[in-house]
Amino acid sequence: MPPPFQKKTKVLPVILSGGVGSRLWPLSREAHPKPFIRLDDNQSLIQKTYLRAASIDGIEEIVTVTNRALFFYTKDEYDEVALAPILRSFILEPFGRNSAAAIGLAAHYAKSKFGNDCILLVLPADHLVEKQDAFMDAINQAMILASDDKLVTFGIRPDTPKTGYGYIEADGHNVLRFVEKPNLDTAQGYLDSGNYFWNSGMFCMCAGTIIEEMHAHCPKIPSQSNICLENAKTSVGASWLLTEISAQDFEKVEDISIDYAIFERSEKVAVVTCDIGWSDIGSWLEFGQLHPLDENNNHISGEAVLEDAQDCILHSEHRMIAGIGLRDLIIADTSDALLVADKSRVQDVRTIVKKLKTQGHKSYEFSPTVYRPWGNYTVLQEGDGFKLKRIEVKPRASLSLQSHAHRSEHWIVVSGVAKVVNHDQILALRHNQSTYIPIGNKHRLENPGDEMLILIEVQCGNYLEETDIIRYNE
């Protein structure tokens, strides 16, 4: 292993968390995207990326560029694994604008705070890296190249002829060309040649270098991203810093990937080729391979009873799957949606998601569990005139004072202590205690304790959508 990077330069990891991962539906949804999928060790992909960045020697701050709507969800994920005293900074986009915009924002943030020589290590939030020592070796090489004014990408040494990845043709650290996703025969040729590598989407460069190259190749992006930061709202917490970009400014930033905008045009590009146990887990094929394997080459997560089933991927969160005579299928079962697909059509899952979106079906966007700043709720069952929810409220958190015009609510505490405002009453409810909230009553739920508050909510009425809510300022 080469000696660690020695230059006394600030290194700033930047986590990009913007993709939905539609090919992993129904696990991944717009409001519960791929970075938040949990693996068998109960860590999410974004938690693993955060810990990977935090493990680098000397790291004092980690920047995450993400959607405004995902801030509290992301913060909660980090809170579970956060390592003090690392500062967690968030640049919040009002909507997605591709990777060039996100990196432009991060580069200007780094430059303004640490100067042109600050090295950015850009990591997608939803990738898996299983060889930590090899990863550290690769980023050590990348930082040396970045300090020499290079824009560094990471090329992953292929072990199979993947058609879902772009490739980099390389000679040592020199990039000869970038190539689009190939067909199977071409991908096999790339694998056989030994000088083509998967384009990982990870990057390393000095803030000043990437801004300079942006001005040369896509000048509107650095200019407008700088304006975005200058006009942004900022706030500070005990261990986090928030920079919120306005929609009016951000809509003027060009929507283009960093590969097309810079890396395929710049003369300063270099590559570090590596074998770091990398996967972008871009489809059910990659995700399924993380599940345990049985004697018939079936990858199974959850409970399954199979007869004459081979080469399948089975994923179930709640129900038992029984299968007979199955071949080369993907079966992914969640509490509200079921996917059955031929393994050879795995890339077409996104087509189903597009159809769901066109039809206005809520399963393209929401999972049964919805996350809020105060905690989360899960719809357990709903029917004509009723809805049943499981609600979790974080310690010291509360919901807004509110009322409903079309529904009443019954709250039953399962665990923890609930402080409830119900019209002119203030109640303290514990396990197996309940309250009834008639239509129109002002009410609020609060968790005054240090443990999670869990309760069951039964709604009854003629309109049970989330839009039936009136909030009151106090």
Summarised one tens digit per residue, pLDDT across range 128-173 is: 999 999 999 999 999 999 999 999 999 999 999 988 889 999 999 9
Q: What is the pLDDT of residues 220-246, one digit of tens each?
A: 999 999 999 999 999 998 888 999 999
132 φ/ψ angles, rounded to the nearest 5 degrees: -65, -40
Q: 329 pLDDT band (50/70/90 cuts)?
A: very high
Whichever domain contains 383, its CATH number is 2.60.120.10
**375 and 413 in one domain?**
yes
256 lies in some domain: yes
Assess whether pLDDT exceeds 50 at residue 1.
no
Of 252-261, 328-337, 367-376, the one with minimum mean pLDDT is 367-376
**322 and 262 in one domain?**
no
Beta strand 338-342 with 329-333: parallel, antiparallel or unpaired? antiparallel
Burial 438-459 (b: 16+ CB within 10 A, else e): eeebebbbbbeeeeebbbebbb
Question: What's the average model confidence in pLDDT over 288-293?
Answer: 92
Whichever domain contains 126, its CATH number is 3.90.550.10
pLDDT of residue 2: 47
Q: Does pTM top 0.85 for this prediction?
A: yes
38 lies in some domain: yes
Q: What is the pLDDT of residues 36-53, one digit of tens each?
A: 999 988 899 999 999 999
**331 and 258 in one domain?**
no
**434 and 341 in one domain?**
no
* End-to-end CA gap in the chain: 60
pLDDT of residue 298: 97
Contact 397, 454 (CB under 8 A): no
Q: Cα 167 to the chain's mean position, in Å?
A: 24
Question: What's the average model confidence in pLDDT over 337-341?
Answer: 96
Token pair in block for residue 219: 């000048």
**346 and 386 in one domain?**
no
pLDDT of residue 366: 87
Number of domain units in the chain: 3
| Alpha-carbon separation of residue 108 from 55, 247, 446 (angstroms) | 24, 18, 40
Query: Token match 């974080």: residue?
Result: 394
**274 and 238 in one domain?**
yes
Contact 349, 341 (CB under 8 A): yes
Assess whether pLDDT exceeds 70 at residue 384.
yes
4 lies in some domain: no
- 451 or 240, which is more confident? 451
**245 and 337 in one domain?**
no
Q: Mark which of 325, 359, 393 sits at the end of a domain.
A: 359
* SS3 readout for the chain: CCCCCCCCCCEEEEEEECCCCHHHCCCCECCECHHHCECCCCCEHHHHHHHHHHCCCCCCEEEEEEEHHHHHHHHHHHHHHCCCCCEEEEEEECCCCHHHHHHHHHHHHHHHHHCCCCEEEEEECCCEECCHHHHHHHHHHHHHHHCCCCEEEEEECCCCCCCCCCEEEEECCEEEEEECCCCHHHHHHHHHHCCEEEEEEEEEEEHHHHHHHHHHHCCHHHHHHHHHHHCCEEEECCCEEEEECCHHHHCCCCCCCHHHHHHCCCCCEEEEEECCCEECCCCHHHHHCCCCECCCCCEEECCEEEECCECCEEEECCCCEEEECCECEEEEECCCCEEEEEHHHHHHHHHHHHHHHHHCCHHHCCCCEEEECCEEEEEEEEECCEEEEEEEECCCCECCCEECCCEEEEEEEEECCEEEEECCEEEEECCCCEEEECCCCCEEEECCCCCCEEEEEEEEECCCCCCCCEECCC
443 lies in some domain: yes
Residue 185 sits at the vertex; the CA angle it makes with 180 and 190, to the nearest 5 degrees, is: 60
Q: Mark which of 259, 279, 299 sits at the end of a domain.
A: 279
364 lies in some domain: no
447 lies in some domain: yes
**174 and 100 in one domain?**
yes
* CA–CA separation, 34 and 25 (whole Å): 9
**341 and 386 in one domain?**
no
**377 and 231 in one domain?**
no
Mean pLDDT of the chain: 94
Burial label for 425, CB within 10 Å (0-12, 13-18, 19+), is: exposed
**410 and 299 in one domain?**
no
3 lies in some domain: no
5 lies in some domain: no
Token pair in block for residue 176: 């000869």
**354 and 244 in one domain?**
no
Q: Mark which of 255, 279, 303 sits at the end of a domain.
A: 279
Range of the domain at 326: 287-359
Q: What is the pLDDT of residues 71-124, one digit of tens each?
A: 989 999 999 997 778 999 999 999 999 999 999 999 999 999 999 999 999 999
What's the CA dihedral at 88, 395, 49, 33 to 10 degrees?
A: -110
